[in-house]
Amino acid sequence: MHQEHTFNKIAVVLDTGALLAKYYRLLPRTRVDIFTTNSAVTEVRDLENKRALLEAIELEVIRVLDPEDRYVSTVLIVAKNIGSLSKLSQTDVQIAALALMLRGKYNNVVVITDDYELQNLLLSLKISFKPLRTRGITCLTIYSVYCPLCLYTPSNPGETACPFCGIPLVRRRLS
């Protein structure tokens, strides 16, 4: 692994949908290290997206890393406990496990995903996440603190500002 100082950086983990949206082109790389898993890379099949993705990997814009088994085991236990195991893909589990593994190295780890089951799992694992699309989200009721602009949802309820937008997070009153 690289030796640079990562404490002030955010680790962003992209799921397959985020790779397809080329979300890695939108992130400020001075503040963000971008990761994904081999399973997500494999799911990108169309030629144009695959070519762009492989180029980004070659240029080290994206680091492809697979989680160690013990993190996968933890994720599987939590998924089973919340009754999501059958609804999660193998890639969902890998993505969550990678985020868990990176949490020991980074101050903040954020998974970019529109997948509701994965978001729910991340909430249970206390891992921050951010959807790609900010419109059409129907499950906002599960979030208590979020960025009103990009829907970044922190794992730590004490966070006050969005690390992507810099604006204050809002707190939803739970009815």
Binding site for Zn ion (CB under 5 A): 147, 149-150, 152, 162, 164-165
For residues 101 and 147, which CB has a smaller minimum distance to Zn ion in the complex?
147
User: Helix, strand, or coil here: 12?
Assistant: strand
Nearest-approach distance from CB 168 to Zn ion, in angstroms:
10
For residues 65 and 149, which CB has a smaller minimum distance to Zn ion in the complex?
149
Nearest-approach distance from CB 17 to Zn ion, in angstroms:
18
Nearest-approach distance from CB 137 to Zn ion, in angstroms:
14
Q: Which of 63, 51, 58 is nearest to 20 (CA)?
A: 51
For residues 142 and 165, which CB has a smaller minimum distance to Zn ion in the complex?
165
Nearest-approach distance from CB 61 to Zn ion, in angstroms:
21
Strand partners, 84: none
Nearest-approach distance from CB 24 to Zn ion, in angstroms:
17
Residue with tokens 């990562």: 6
HEC profile of 100-165: HHHCCCCCEEEEECCCHHHHHHHHHHCCEEECCCCCCCCCHHHCCEECCCCCCECCCCCCCECCCC
Using CA atoms, how far apart are residues 103 and 8, in angstroms rounded to an integer? Answer: 13
- Structure tokens of 17? 């949908």
- Structure tokens of 2? 């690289």
For residues 11 and 79, which CB has a smaller minimum distance to Zn ion in the complex?
11
For residues 52 and 149, which CB has a smaller minimum distance to Zn ion in the complex?
149
